[in-house]
């Protein structure tokens, strides 16, 4: 067991609409890593939350005739309900409208930037995209519209406070190049450097506006000592990662323990806000930098971006209702390469579910437990030495030769657990999941090779050894599944009913499931 601390964050979600499949991917990816680190004994803090200020929210609230606070309260309630349904194990949920906890943190960070001499007043004249909640330039537009939102930006001219982002361009570049600031995948580092570097390598990063004049409906955090200005939503939102730990409050204990974040998970659309603005703010405030920004790709539907107009938006609720939350978590864990864009369709989901959950895992669990029940009333004893084929899978011992005196050559050359841990600690959850399914197929092969259902008629002890090995393997499968499919893992562990005696021998007091773990879908 380690003594390490582990702080992981998700971006905070705009409280203007319901979460879709893309958002739930961010959540599940982070949850799997948080659960893994908890399981290996790290002192873990997992944060998520909601981004509630800004014009985008005010306008969405007006459309449904609600005040902004009532509107975000409704959306946040739905968000938190879905988060529970997904089995997300966050330790805290931060809301940017929380005046007690979040506001003092955001204000303290602002004052730190001010003390560093990095805030000045100026006039902003240019374009603003409400969808992005960001100022954008002419050259970023396609046919006069924002590429992310397909809407024309607004022309604005107003008094703002500015942040000297320009001061930090070269330093951020150096930190990224030296790997002090780790961004995964590496391609994102190159993208960020391209934004920083001018033609002869100098930083061309400009300053950014970090406040907006107070609105008709004031909805945001007032700038310290100048309530006529509200903090720019991104500055407000980014500070959640430390305000949630009590930074700026009268108890900064958690902040001292957990900051800097070990992993900040985010989607590819918001890298520059994190890799440039957030990092510059931390440098300015002289706070430690996050150890890693883990960037994931986007989910598409049927090869196209999910959008209401195309009618291809997939809701997480639909998958949870039809397949259960662990099936959705399985899909996110195994069928997606985190750094890449991916595609989801109902057909593909069903196909994968049937092949790997109903047939693969589910079938192995029922077959094994039924044999244990039928031949041994569920009580199976044995020892690792009698089942060398299984032993190699779980303990990295490389052997070859006859197995269980049955004269069947069994050669295994790779260690499941070692590779599983290596992938999980490198955040490559899909590869870790592949390793689990590798063990599942070894166990299937084991049944095929040793045919315990025939063996039991001629040599009951040998059959018991084989079934003992299967149960042992299933227990390993379940333990590795804990971060990805927590309920399924728990069910399997209960069904196999392992107990370890004082002399280290594992015995099983198992029961067959009344119903299949994953019903096949036609
Ligand atoms: N509120 C900002 C983040 C502020 S963090 C200080 C925001 N919110 S969001 O609700 O739009 O997005 C939250 C997360 O969901 C982001 O990581 C974003 O990349 C992710 N996704 C949104 N749509 C997505 C897909 N279609 N696919 C995968 N992830 C997606 O940005």
R_g over Cα of the chain: 27
Q: Report how far ligand 1's centroid is from the alpha carbon of 404 (Å).
A: 53
Per-range mean pLDDT, top range of 58-72, 199-213, 493-507: 58-72
Distance between first and last Cα of the chain:
44
Domains with residue ranges and CATH for the chain: 345-509 (1.10.730.10)
Residue 1 pLDDT > 60: no
pTM: 0.93
Mean pLDDT in the chain?
A: 90
Residues in the chain: 522
Q: Closest ligand 1 atom, CA of 11?
A: 5
Q: What is the pLDDT of residues 112-137, one digit of tens each?
A: 999 999 999 999 888 998 888 888 88
Supply the DSSP string of 77-133, one letter for each residue: HHHHHHHHHTT---SEEEETT-TTTHHHHHHHHHHHHHHTT-EEEEEEEEEEETTTT
Nearest-angstrom CA–CA distance, 476 and 493? 9
By three-state DSSP, how is residue 63 classified?
A: helix
pLDDT of residue 249: 97
| List 4, 305, 454, 460, catalytic entry | 305
Q: Report how far ligand 1's centroid is from the alpha carbon of 267 (Å).
A: 6
Q: Report how far ligand 1's centroid is from the alpha carbon of 23 (Å).
A: 6
Q: Give the residue with greater pLDDT, 371 vs 391.
A: 371
Nearest-angstrom CA–CA distance, 255 and 236? 17
Output the six-digit token pair for 514: 């009344």
Output the six-digit token pair for 135: 């100022």
- Identify the CA nearest to 97 among candidates 149, 146, 163, 53: 53
Whether 129 is catalytic is yes
| List 129, 188, 254, 274, catalytic entry | 129
Tell me the sheet residues that pair with 229: 213
pLDDT of residue 139: 86
Res. 515 pLDDT band, cuts 50 70 90: very high
Helix (H) or strand (E) holding 415: none
- Ligand 1, atom 12, lies closest to the CA of 13
- Identify the CA nearest to 338 among candidates 10, 62, 25, 78: 25
Q: Closest ligand 1 atom, CA of 265?
A: 17
Q: Report how far ligand 1's centroid is from the alpha carbon of 339 (Å).
A: 14
Q: Report how far ligand 1's centroid is from the alpha carbon of 105 (Å).
A: 22
Whether 149 is catalytic is yes
Counting ligand 1 atoms within 8 A of each CB, the residue from 8, 15, 18, 22 with the most, and so the one to mutate, is 22
pLDDT of residue 227: 92
- Phi then psi for residue 211, to 5 deg, are -150, 165
Q: Is the dihedral of CA 119, 122, 127, 129 positive or negative?
A: positive
Whether 235 is catalytic is no
Q: Report how far ligand 1's centroid is from the alpha carbon of 476 (Å).
A: 35
- Ligand 1, atom 13, lies closest to the CA of 13
Q: Closest ligand 1 atom, CA of 23?
A: 15
Q: Under the phi-then-psi rule, with left for phi > 0, alpha for psi from -120 to 50, and beta for the rest, what region is 201? A: left
Q: What is the pLDDT of residues 171-181, one digit of tens each?
A: 999 999 999 99
* Ligand 1, CB cutoff 6 Å, lining residues: 11-14, 22-23, 25-26, 51, 237-238, 240, 266-267, 269-270, 298-299, 306
pLDDT of residue 413: 47
Instruction: Show the 3-state SS of 427-476.
Output: CCHHHHHHHHHHHHHHHHHHHHHHCHHHHHHHCHHHHHHHHHHHHHHHHH
E strand residue ranges, 204-284: 208-209, 211-213, 222-223, 226-231, 263-267
pLDDT of residue 198: 81
């Amino acid at each position: 067991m380690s003594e390490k601390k582990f702080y992981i964050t998700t971006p905070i979600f705009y409280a203007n609409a319901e979460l879709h499949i893309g958002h739930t991917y961010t959540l599940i990816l982070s949850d799997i890593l948080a659960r893994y680190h908890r399981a290996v004994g790290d002192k873990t803090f997992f944060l998520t939350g909601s981004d509630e200020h800004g014009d985008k929210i005010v306008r969405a609230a007006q459309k449904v005739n609600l005040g902004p606070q009532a509107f975000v309260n409704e959306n946040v309630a739905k968000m938190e309900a879905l988060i529970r349904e997904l089995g997300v194990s966050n330790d805290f949920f931060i809301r940017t409208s929380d005046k007690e906890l979040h506001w003092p943190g955001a204000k303290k960070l602002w004052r730190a930037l001010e003390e560093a001499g990095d805030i000045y007043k100026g006039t902003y004249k240019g374009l603003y995209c409400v969808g992005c909640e960001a100022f954008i330039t002419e050259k970023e537009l396609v046919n006069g519209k924002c590429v992310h939102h397909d809407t024309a930006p607004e022309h604005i001219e107003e008094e703002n406070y500015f942040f000297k982002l320009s001061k930090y361009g070269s330093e951020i570049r150096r930190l990224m190049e030296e790997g002090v600031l780790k961004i995964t995948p590496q391609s994102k580092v190159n993208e960020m450097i391209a934004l920083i570097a001018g033609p002869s390598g100098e930083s061309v990063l400009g300053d950014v506006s970090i406040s907006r004049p107070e609105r008709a409906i004031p909805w945001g955090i007032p700038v310290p000592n100048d309530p006529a200005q509200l903090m720019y939503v991104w500055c407000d939102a980014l500070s959640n990662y430390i305000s949630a730990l009590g930074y700026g409050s009268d108890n900064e204990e958690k902040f001292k323990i957990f900051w800097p974040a070990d992993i900040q998970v985010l989607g590819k659309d918001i890298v520059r806000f994190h890799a440039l603005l957030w990092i510059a703010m931390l440098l300015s405030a002289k706070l430690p930098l996050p150890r890693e920004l883990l960037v994931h790709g986007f989910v598409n539907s049927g090869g196209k971006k999910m959008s209401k107009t195309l009618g291809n938006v997939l809701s997480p609720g639909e998958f949870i209702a039809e397949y259960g939350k662990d099936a959705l978590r399985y899909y996110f864990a195994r069928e997606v390469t985190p750094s890449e864009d991916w595609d989801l369709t109902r057909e593909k989901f069903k196909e994968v579910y049937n092949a790997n959950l109903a047939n693969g895992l589910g079938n192995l669990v029922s077959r094994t437990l039924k044999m244990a029940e039928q031949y041994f009333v569920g009580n199976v004893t044995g020892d690792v030495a009698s089942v060398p084929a299984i032993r190699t899978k779980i303990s990295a011992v490389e052997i070859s030769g006859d197995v269980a005196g049955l004269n069947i050559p069994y050669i295994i050359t790779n260690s499941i657990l070692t590779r599983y841990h290596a992938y999980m600690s490198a955040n490559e959850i899909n590869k870790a999941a592949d390793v689990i399914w590798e063990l599942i197929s070894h166990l299937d092969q084991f049944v095929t090779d040793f045919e315990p259902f025939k063996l039991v008629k001629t040599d009951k002890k040998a059959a018991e050894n084989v079934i003992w090995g299967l149960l042992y393997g299933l227990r390993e499968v379940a333990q590795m599944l804990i971060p990805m499919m927590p309920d399924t893992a728990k069910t399997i562990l209960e069904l196999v009913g392992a107990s370890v005696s004082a002399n280290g021998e594992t015995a099983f007091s198992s029961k067959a499931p009344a119903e299949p773990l994953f019903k096949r879908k036609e």
